[in-house]
């Protein structure tokens, strides 16, 4: 299918990012549909991106080869049950970007034998610099896997996981991960200011250092440990700082933090799996 129609249910920030990335990749804007109950948001997205917009989810799904469920997890059950009949009738590929909603839960809401891909993008996707993990159910064909990957690849890196339980670890690592780096930036800025630097100087130096380190890690064939060793001269300032971080248990802190995030992801998934009263 050379030019599938892609329907987004929900017109929030992630939808806007995905649509922007798809159009930048050469996808025809007129092959993209967005549906949302917020008429003002929908109008802004339609005018800004040149896509088609509809206020009726059922009508939008009826025209779709690919449906992206981009609504909040708390309302996904209601939306999915409303869309079950048209999805069963038209059989599009369904991609969920709702955090914490497992594929078997979605299958129960949408009906059996739906070709379903669950994905976990993170917020840098809004800058086309995201990291997204995907999991495909057994009903997804090889061609549909390629379609799902092309949609999410429009906003950054995509990786497949074979075991859906790994999505909880993905949530802990990359889903929540930007916040960890923001906290580290915040802490380094504050430390620089405490050492006597003007706050704006501390901020700019920290941000550029973070950007440069990330680029080096991405573009180098060496692993982070090797890159770290190259800037850690024996008896030097960097070694003093690294030694202090290691002594304070930085690695264990991250293990405990990500484990807590993973466990909370499991808890939230279990809560979302409970039927609405």
Report the C-alpha gap between 34 and 56 in whole angstroms: 10
Average pLDDT of the residues in 269-275:
80
Residue 214 clears pLDDT 90, i.e. is over it? yes
Q: For residue 98, give Cα distances in angstroms to 71, 253, 260, 262.
A: 7, 28, 20, 16
Average pLDDT of the residues in 137-145:
96
The pLDDT confidence band at residue 39, using thresholds 50, 70 and 90, is very high
**In the structure encoding, which two tokens stand for residue 110, read together?**
């949408």
3-state secondary structure (DSSP) of residue 238:
helix
Residue 276 clears pLDDT 90, i.e. is over it? no
Name the strand (E) or helix (H) holding 6.
Answer: strand 6-9
Report the C-alpha gap between 266 and 102 in whole angstroms: 10
Residue 1 clears pLDDT 60, i.e. is over it? no
How do residues 236-245 score in pLDDT, each as one tens digit?
Answer: 999 999 999 9
Pairing of strands 66-69, 32-35: unpaired
pLDDT score for 120? 94
Query: What own/partner pairs with CB < 8 Å and gap ≥ 24 does 222-225 have?
Result: none
Question: Has domain 6-169 been given CATH number 3.40.50.620?
Answer: no
As beta bridge partners, residue 67 has 7, 94
Report the C-alpha gap between 126 and 20 in whole angstroms: 9
Phi, psi of 188 (to 5 degrees): -70, -40
Q: What would the DSSP string read from start to end of 92-120?
A: -EEEE--TT--HHHHHHHH-TT--EEEEE
Q: At the fourth CATH level, which superfamily is domain 177-265?
A: ProC C-terminal domain-like (1.10.3730.10)
Strands laid side by side in the 156-160 sheet: 52-54, 32-35, 6-9, 66-69, 93-96, 116-120, 130-136, 156-160
DSSP code at position 140: -
Q: How many CB atoms lie within 10 A of CB 256?
A: 11
Average pLDDT of the residues in 148-153:
96
Averaged confidence pLDDT in the chain: 95
How do residues 80-135 score in pLDDT, each as one tens digit?
Answer: 999 999 999 999 999 999 988 999 999 999 998 999 999 999 999 999 999 999 99
What stretch(es) of the chain map to CATH 1.10.3730.10? 177-265
The pLDDT confidence band at residue 263, using thresholds 50, 70 and 90, is very high
What stretch(es) of the chain map to CATH 3.40.50.720? 6-169
Average pLDDT of the residues in 256-271:
94
- Residue 209 C-alpha from the chain's centroid: 24
Average pLDDT of the residues in 54-75:
95
H helix runs in the chain, sequence order? 13-24, 39-49, 57-62, 73-90, 103-110, 142-153, 166-170, 177-194, 199-219, 224-230, 237-247, 250-272
**In the structure encoding, which two tokens stand for residue 57, read together?**
């989810």
């Amino acid at each position: 299918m050379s030019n599938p129609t892609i329907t987004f249910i929900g017109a929030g920030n992630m939808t806007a990012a995905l649509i922007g990335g798809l159009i930048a990749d050469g996808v025809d804007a007129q092959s993209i549909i967005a549906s949302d109950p917020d008429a003002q948001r929908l109008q802004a997205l339609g005018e800004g991106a040149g896509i088609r917009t509809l206020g009726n989810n059922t009508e939008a799904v009826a025209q779709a080869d690919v449906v992206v469920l981009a609504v909040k997890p708390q309302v996904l059950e209601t939306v999915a049950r409303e869309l079950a009949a048209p999805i069963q009738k038209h059989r599009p590929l369904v991609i969920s970007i709702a955090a914490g909603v497992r594929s078997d839960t979605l299958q129960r809401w949408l009906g059996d034998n739906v070709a379903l891909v669950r994905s976990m993008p993170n917020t840098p996707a809004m800058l086309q610099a995201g990291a997204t993990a995907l999991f495909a159910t057994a009903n997804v064909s090889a061609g549909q896997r390629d379609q799902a990957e092309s949609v999410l690849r429009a906003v950054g890196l995509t990786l497949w996981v074979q075991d859906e339980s790994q999505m909880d670890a993905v949530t802990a690592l990359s889903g929540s991960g930007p916040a960890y780096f923001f906290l580290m930036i915040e802490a380094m800025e504050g430390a620089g200011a405490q050492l006597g630097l003007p706050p704006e100087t501390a901020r700019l130096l920290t941000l550029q250092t973070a950007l440069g380190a990330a680029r080096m890690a991405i573009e180098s064939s060496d692993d982070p440990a090797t890159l770290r060793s190259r800037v850690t001269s024996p008896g030097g300032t960097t070694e003093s700082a690294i030694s202090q971080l290691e002594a304070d248990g930085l690695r264990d802190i991250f293990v405990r933090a990500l484990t807590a995030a993973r466990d909370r992801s499991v808890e939230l998934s279990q809560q979302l799996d409970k039927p609405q009263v």
